[in-house]
Chains A and B, each alone.
Chain A
Amino acid sequence: MATDIGPPDFREMMHPALKENYGKWKYHEILRPGVLKHVSETGGEVYTVRVGSPRLVSIDFIRDICDIADKYCDGHLRFTSRHSIEFMTADESKVQPLIDEIKSYNLPVGGTGTSVTNIVHTQGWVHCHSAATDASAPVKAIMDELYEYFGSMTLPAQLRIAFACCLNMCGAIHCSDIAIVGIHRRPPKVDDERVGAVCEIPTTLASCPTGAIRRHPDANVKSVVVNEERCMYCGNCFTVCPAMPIADAEGDGVAIYVGGKVSNARTGPMFSRLAIPFLPNTPPRWPETVDAVKNIVEVYAQHARKWERVGEWIERVGWETFFRLTGIPFTEQHIDDFAHAVGTFRTTTNFKW
């Protein structure tokens, strides 16, 4: 078997309309939610239909969308950076039949312009050892609730929600309009016998951002001790030392951060910031989390000006206004206490009541 062959060449994967007009595109329009039209300098055209999808799909699903692409898109399709599918055709007369076929599979068309786009998320309980929550299930529940926003463009600006099942934040969801992250709230439980067998002590000590871990004081015990007051349950020690499990059914849950963005449009990229420190894990549909997200979306939709992202709206009206309008309590946990914390304190009298 050959190794190091690298990925297949994208040039073989492109729809002919993309190939013919490569590097020559001139402008695009969003014809309606989920439908783009691009026009090239030489008059070439391509229509794109964007379709929402779960991140976890079967090969049968992939074969289904391949069937659609074979029928309407000359045997080509692509995926977006947010798990959505894009079908492309140069033939305008195929667009509506393509959409009809997509809808016959109960797949939603949308995710363009000022919509709630697909939720980027991680493995959760489907596959991850360090998950503090599931991801696919709350994502499904949230998209069910916000479904109308995916297939329409009624928000002040695009709204990107992302979900990470623990603080590792695979997918770096921390710059999203609404970022939901699984958290632990109890320190790890050290299994002294196993630590000696499976962990590298110096690596484990070094893995703690707050220096809460030290060697076990008894020289005969090859293990570590956690200063629980300094532990903020990030779980990095568990990542490097399997003998310090940290998951806890009642302690674990999710936190919600808001106001991040990744683009440079109008304002530079911004981190999401803490809105709700804890909501419990309530399988199968996480109703508290769904309600909290919906509330934030609706308050934003009602109050923000056109082309203001959530974070830009909050910067303009002030975080005090955000907490007042959403009814979310502001607590001691909202105030930073890690490195660079003081930089977030308000060193001016310019605040609203």
Chain B
Amino acid sequence: MSDSETPMLDELEKGPWPSFVTEIKRMADRKPAAKDLLGQMELSFRDKVTHWKHGGIVGVTGYGGGVIGRYSDSPEQFPNVAAFHTFRVNQPSGWLYSTKALRKVCDVWEKYGSGLTNMHGSTGDIILLGANTENLQPAFNALSDEAGFDLGGSGSVLRTPSCCIGPARCEWSCIDTLDLCNDLTHTYQDQLHRPAWPYKFKFKIAGCPNDCVASIARADMPIIGTWRDSLRIDQDAVREYVANGLDLQGEVISRCPTDALEWDAAAKELKVKAEDCVRCMHCINRMPKAIRPGVEKGATILIGGKAPIMRGALLSWVLVPFMKMEPPYTEFKELVEKIWDWWDENARTRERVGELIERMGMWRFLRDIGLKPLPQMVFQPRSNPYVFWPEEGE
């Protein structure tokens, strides 16, 4: 029995959490690329650096993205990952799958690729990890024609939108996140596949302010379900929680950020001052059987979120406090297309929309887009007194 060629990687097969090394090894017998990936990873562990070269433009006919080029910097040692490109495959909304559809993707990848995947990448796409250059077009043809899947976005495009599970299973979903995500993805196929913009742009769609897709942190334009009226309280259910030992005061009422909840001891009722509620979801999270969102539902639209590069990370901020979201989502699409035009017109290369607004000023952005300033857009008004007074008509 020979010594293992990957003694360091083997250490990562120990321990209770399922091991990615085991997964790569599962493909190594029948896929030389997987075997070489193990070898190159082991080398990286010894050298403590990556062994992947920078970029490389590869693609499929008709698209300017969706395929990430990747080349090994040690091709003589690991010839089967000399070219090891990646597909981003647009996931169904909510990452819902039939096994029939998933198996088709597996079959395509068995034939044309390394057999390794990420379920899923951070933006939300299925990642098919590692194909050589000759197989790119045939793999895409099979994905599209046989499996019924398309590529996602990469580069300076609309990146693949993603959403939470929404009304398919969540009682808190205030908008149809799945339909909206699907609709926007299909409407904006051209913007998704063909890079024409200064940089990337991301939608993320959450059904409620719990924001299970981290849209405020991660999207240029989050769409977050909300309600405009009062949350609904079932008093019998409240009393049942209390009877079962819930510390209503300590765990719910005192945690309300705006003091909007009150326990009426005489009537034994939990009361909410709707005008003080900011819809943070905490009380609903604690008492799902007793408290529900309101019924006048729509979405809050935010703008500007991004990761650190280049001028620092930004959290998205409120742009439209309430918008009804009904198919075909015309009001939303009109707004977003105005924003894209403004950003495309004014941005530097690789400048995200949030950075552009920071550079040009919210007042100019709002004027150009045609939105009125609202106090809901800010935590506080400015304190610094360097205030512009643009001429009328500017």
Binding site for B on A (CB under 8 A): 1-10, 12-15, 18-19, 22-23, 25-29, 38, 46, 48, 52-63, 66, 69-70, 75-81, 83, 85, 88, 106-108, 120, 122-131, 134, 136-137, 140-141, 143-144, 147, 150, 167-172, 174-175, 203, 206-207, 209, 234, 236, 238-240, 242, 247-250, 252, 260, 262-267, 269, 271, 281, 283-285, 306-307, 338-340
Contacts and interface: CB of A to CB of B under 8 A. Distances in A.
B23 A127 contact: no
A203 B50 CA distance: 24
Nearest to B31: A58
B389 interface: no
Interface string B84-112: 10100011111111111111011001100
Interface residues of B, number: 129
B211 A263 contact: yes
B281 A265 contact: yes
Contacts of A129: 50, 52-55, 70
A115 to B, nearest CB: 14
A85 B18 CA distance: 13
Given A12-B92, A242-B55, 10 more contacts: A10-B168, A18-B169, A23-B173, A38-B169, A38-B170, A57-B116, A174-B313, A203-B349, A263-B281, A266-B255
Interface in B118-146: 118-124, 129-130, 140-141, 144-145
A204 to B, nearest CB: 11
Interface stretch (B184-192, B326-334, B369-377): B184-192
B18 A54 contact: yes
B255 A63 contact: no
Contact of A7 (B47, B149, B251, B306): B149
A265 B95 contact: no
Given A26-B171, A264-B280, A266-B255, A6 B216 contact: no
Interface stretch (B37-45, B260-268, B269-277, B337-345): B37-45
A316 B311 CA distance: 29
Given A55-B20, A59-B106, A122 B193 contact: no
Contacts of B9: 284
Contact of B15 (A12, A144, A339): A144
Contact of A46 (B119, B169, B310): B169
B194 to A, nearest CB: 10
Contact of B145 (A1, A108, A143, A249): A1
A128 B52 contact: yes
B214 A56 contact: no
A136 B13 CA distance: 12
A28 to B, nearest CB: 6
A52 B116 contact: no
A224 to B, nearest CB: 16
Nearest to A6: B186
B171 A234 contact: no
Contacts of B20: 54-57, 126, 136, 140
B169 A169 contact: no
A28 B217 CA distance: 26
B150 interface: yes
Interface of B: 8-9, 11-12, 14-21, 23-24, 26-27, 34, 37, 41, 44-55, 61-63, 70, 84, 86, 90-103, 105-106, 109-110, 115-124, 129-130, 140-141, 144-145, 148-150, 162, 164-165, 167-171, 173, 176, 178, 182, 185-186, 189-190, 193, 209-218, 250-251, 255-257, 278-282, 285-286, 288-289, 292, 305-313, 315, 348-350
A81 to B, nearest CB: 5
B112 to A, nearest CB: 11
Contacts of A127: 52, 70, 84, 86, 129-130
Contact of B16 (A4, A19, A108, A281): A108
Nearest to A119: B17
A60 B117 CA distance: 10
B145 A70 contact: no
19 contacts: A23-B167, A25-B169, A27-B288, A52-B18, A54-B18, A54-B19, A66-B106, A78-B94, A108-B18, A127-B70, A127-B130, A172-B214, A209-B312, A234-B309, A240-B350, A263-B210, A265-B280, A267-B257, A306-B250
Given A75-B98, A262-B217, A265-B210, A81 B17 contact: no
Given A62-B117, A283-B8, A247 B49 contact: yes
B119 A53 contact: yes
B122 A120 contact: yes
A147 B26 contact: no
Given A53-B119, A127-B129, A144-B16, A247 B171 contact: no
Contacts of B141: 1
A282 to B, nearest CB: 9
A21 to B, nearest CB: 8
A228 to B, nearest CB: 19
B14 to A, nearest CB: 8
Given A4-B190, A58-B26, A285-B12, A78 B307 contact: no
A144 to B, nearest CB: 3
A283 B45 contact: yes
B251 A6 contact: no
A284 B12 contact: yes
